[in-house]
Amino acid sequence: MTIEILGVEKNLRGTKITVKHSAVLPYTPAYTFFLRGMADVIDSKFHLQFTEWNDLNCGIVWAEDEFNNIVGCICYDRSYKDSFIPQIYSILTFVDEKHRQIGIHKIMYRYFQRQVSNLKCSVITSNVHHKNTIRLISAEKDGFVPLQYLMIKKI
Ligand SMILES: CC(C)(COP(=O)(O)OP(=O)(O)OC[C@H]1O[C@@H](n2cnc3c(N)ncnc32)[C@H](O)[C@@H]1OP(=O)(O)O)[C@@H](O)C(=O)NCCC(=O)NCCS
C-alpha cells in the first residue's frame, strides 16, 4: 500500500489540512474513520444497513488536520472503471462533525476528482438519500446533478 500526499491546504479557519490518498482501502490509517462514517450515515437513516462495497475494489482520499487527526474522507469504488462508460462510484464522503462547514469536503473533493481523471474516468456516480439535504446541496456544489429516483418497497 502506497500513501501519497496529494496536497497541503488551509481550511476556512486558516489551519492546515493535508490531503492523502491510497489506491487501496484496506490497511489505510483512514479505514476505521471510513467505517465509523458509514455507521453514522446508516444511523442517520441516510443509508440502508448493508455493506455495498468490496474493500479490494476501493481507494480512499482523506484529510488530516494540523495534529495529524483524520477529519474527513472520500471512499470510492473503481469496479466500473472499465465499463462502457468508465466511471467511479463514490461510496461515502464524510467529515467529522466538529470540522464541518469549513471547506474540508470541498478541498478533498477537488483532489478526489483529479484521482478519477487519473483513472481515465469521466463520470462519478453517488447515491444520496433524498432527505440528506446537506449532502444534496454539497453534491450540487461539486457539480453533480440528480439523475433518477431509486424507488424501494419492503414486502
Ligand atoms: C456532506 C458533508 C461531507 C459536507 O462536508 P463539509 O466539509 O462540511 O462541506 P464544506 O464545508 O466543504 O462545504 C461544501 C458545500 O456544502 C454546502 N454545505 C455544507 N454544509 C452545509 C450545511 N450545514 N447547510 C447547508 N449547506 C451546507 C455548502 O453549499 C458548501 O459550499 P459553500 O461553502 O460554497 O456554500 C458533511 O456535512 C458530512 O460529513 N455529512 C454527514 C455524512 C453524509 O451525509 N455524507 C454523505 C453520504 S451520501
Summarised one tens digit per residue, pLDDT across range 10-59 is: 999 999 999 999 999 999 999 999 999 999 999 999 999 999 999 999 99
pLDDT tens digits for 87-106?
999 999 999 999 999 999 99
**Cβ(51)–Cβ(34) below 8 Å:** no
* pLDDT the model gives residue 122: 93
C-alpha cell at 88: 467511479
Please provide the average confidence, as pLDDT, over all residues in the chain.
Answer: 97
User: CA-CA-CA-CA torsion for 115, 119, 123, 127, nearest 10 degrees?
Assistant: -60
For the chain, percent of residues with pLDDT exceeding 70:
100
Percent above pLDDT 90 for the chain: 97
Pocket test for ligand 1, best of 100, 110, 124 (most atoms within 8 A of CB): 100
Q: How far is the CA of 93 from the centre of ligand 1 (A)?
A: 9
Task: For residues 29 and 34, give the distance between their C-alpha atoms in angstroms, rounded to a whole number.
Answer: 10
Q: Which atom of ligand 1 is nearest to the CA of 132?
A: 44
- Distance of CA 137 from the midpoint of ligand 1 (Å): 7
Looking at domain 4-142, its CATH architecture is 3-Layer(aba) Sandwich (3.40)
Query: Where do the domains of the chain lie?
Result: 4-142
Q: What is the pLDDT of residue 154?
A: 87
Look-up of cell digits 495534529: 67
Burial string for 121-144 (b: 16+ CB within 10 Å, else e) reads beebebebeeebeebeebbeebeb
CA of 25 to the centre of ligand 1 (A): 23
Decide if 119 contacts 77 (C-beta within 8 A): no
pLDDT value of residue 1: 80
Residue 153: its pLDDT value, please?
92
The finding on whether 138 has its CB within 6 A of some atom of ligand 1 is yes
Alpha carbon distance 28, 82 (integer Å): 25
**Contact predicate 17/8, CB 8 Å:** yes
Site to probe by mutation for ligand 1, drawn from 15, 73, 90, 101 as the one with most ligand atoms within 8 Å of Cβ, is 101
